[in-house]
Amino acid sequence: MTMTQITLSKPDDMHLHVRNGEALKRVIHDTAKQFARAIIMPNLATPVTQVEQAQAYHQEILQALSDGGHPDVDFHPLMTLYLTDNTTAETIYQAKESGIIHALKLYPAGATTNSDAGVTDITNTYPALTAMQEVGMPLLVHGEVTDPHIDIFDREYVFIETILKPLSKAFPALKIVLEHITTKQAVEFIDNAADHIVATITAHHLLINRNAIFTGGIRPHHYCLPVLKREEHRLALVKAATSGSPKYFLGTDSAPHAQHAKESACGCAGMYTAFNAMELYAEVFEKANALDKLEDFASSYGANFYGLPKTEKQITLKKESWDVPHDLPYATDTTKESDEKIIPFRAGEQCSWKLY
Ligand code: NCD
Ligand code: ZN
Ligand code: ZN
């Protein structure tokens, strides 16, 4: 029997970039429509390294939600702190106390957008990691090495071998999320790791492979980090996401950048999937004959990992084609409005599921 409609508890996006200022005001509503909660990445231009900054950012997000004419929208931002070489154990204890901070994010210095303040040597973070292990605060990992001698398509795999495996041995009880996984080696690592070592998977890494970066010419809107990989890796991700294993859950890594910043001689990394996220995931699960596994992947496993209750709200997805707009309004100047655009994933093409 083919399913033409599915209702699930309102899902959680466990890896999301919403920026701040005017950009935040434009993008947050897309996520609030689709998701009940989201883990908010701390890589603002000024990274969110301190508890007070996370509190201010939390307030800014709540304000943006109510200013956007959705005062009743029941969306909860789950805040994170940006781990640096100097993060203290005291900061971890404060973060735990805050009640709004749910994880620390590890960016190897220079690995991705706004990661200049990232970690230069993992051993510098040992005091913080010790405290995190103690209080049960998860570590979220952008898992790519930054050594320019390592081929860009191998950076995740090399990170797992040289950093993540030793790290998980040094901190055997530390909760770890390997974010936005892209390779069969990452799936193999997660499958064989302890139960508290898990992974998020994006819609775009499930839908397209690295050919999509070069279809008929260079496609900057298909450039993200970690970069898209070969088809065999995409297939391994689809298998993991639709397997019913609680070790894999939804994290869009929706990462908005203005059109001009993407369509440039040195374009930014990141795809904007917040606009049609659940439609995209539904398509993947349908193609894999696994629509019955979508709710756990999107609404349960992430919440369980973070110790959050299941949400009461629901969403419905219907099998119905619709046209994705060519662009959406955006603004990069964090202080004033502008008529910049953002190009959503699948812009100008169709989605086969629609969110209601
Ligand atoms: C993200 C961003 O733009 O903030 N970009 C991306 O390509 N995924 C950063 C990240 O998640 O690595
Ligand atoms: Zn990342
Ligand atoms: Zn990200």
Q: What is the pLDDT, as a whole number, of residue 335?
A: 65
User: Which atom belonging to ligand 1 lies closest to the Cα atom of 43?
Assistant: 4
Q: Is the confidence at residue 129, as pLDDT, over 90?
A: yes
Distances 239 to 8, 29, 30, 295 between C-alpha atoms, Å: 21, 31, 28, 16
50 confidence band (pLDDT: 50, 70, 90): very high
Q: Is 210 helix (H, G, I), strand (E, B) or coil?
A: helix
User: Which atom belonging to ligand 1 lies closest to the Cα atom of 269?
Assistant: 7
- What are the structure tokens assigned to 123, written together? 């051993």
Domain ranges of the chain: 5-355
Nearest CA to ligand 1 atom 6: 270
Q: What is the pLDDT, as a whole number, of residue 338?
A: 74
Mean pLDDT to the nearest integer, 148-169:
98
Q: Is the confidence at residue 86, as pLDDT, over 80?
A: yes
* Segment among 110-114, 289-293, 350-354 with least mean pLDDT: 110-114
184 confidence band (pLDDT: 50, 70, 90): very high
68 confidence band (pLDDT: 50, 70, 90): confident
1 confidence band (pLDDT: 50, 70, 90): low
What is the 3-state secondary structure of 31-76? HHHHCCEEEECCCCCCCCCCHHHHHHHHHHHHHHHHHCCCCCCCCE
Q: Is 272 helix (H, G, I), strand (E, B) or coil?
A: strand
State the chain's mean pLDDT as an integer: 96
Q: What is the pLDDT, as a whole number, of residue 74?
A: 84
Q: Give the tens place of pLDDT for each residue, 264-301.
A: 999 999 999 999 999 999 999 999 999 999 999 999 99
Neighbours of ion ligand 3 (CB under 5 A): 253
Q: How far apart are CA 218 and CA 207, in angstroms?
A: 18
Nearest ligand for residue 228 CA: 1
CATH code for residues 5-355: 3.20.20.140
Residue 48 Cα to ligand 3 middle (Å): 14
Amino acid letter at 355? L
Q: What is the pLDDT, as a whole number, of residue 339?
A: 82
Q: What is the pLDDT, as a whole number, of residue 72?
A: 57
Q: Which of 112, 116, 343 maximizes ligand 1 atoms within 8 Å of its Cβ, making it the mutation to test the pocket?
A: 112
Q: Give the tens place of pLDDT for each residue, 9-24.
A: 999 999 999 999 999 9
User: Which atom belonging to ligand 1 lies closest to the Cα atom of 224?
Assistant: 7
To the nearest whole percent, how much of the chain has pLDDT over 90?
92
- What are the structure tokens assigned to 144, written together? 């790519």
Cβ atoms of 36 and 349 closer than 8 Å:
no
Residue 143 Cα to ligand 2 middle (Å): 7
Residue 294 Cα to ligand 3 middle (Å): 21
Ligand 1 pocket at CB < 6 A: 17, 43, 112-113, 142, 224-225, 253, 255, 269-270
User: Which atom belonging to ligand 1 lies closest to the Cα atom of 17?
Assistant: 4
Q: How far apart are CA 100 and CA 344, in angstroms?
A: 29
Q: What is the pLDDT, as a whole number, of residue 331?
A: 80
List the catalytic residue out of 12, 13, 253, 296.
253
Q: Is the confidence at residue 336, as pLDDT, over 70?
A: no
- Within 10 angstroms of residue 264's Cβ, the number of other Cβ atoms is 12
Residue 1 Cα to ligand 1 middle (Å): 39
Known catalytic residue: 253?
yes
Q: Which of 224, 228, 268, 343 maximizes ligand 1 atoms within 8 Å of its Cβ, making it the mutation to test the pocket?
A: 224
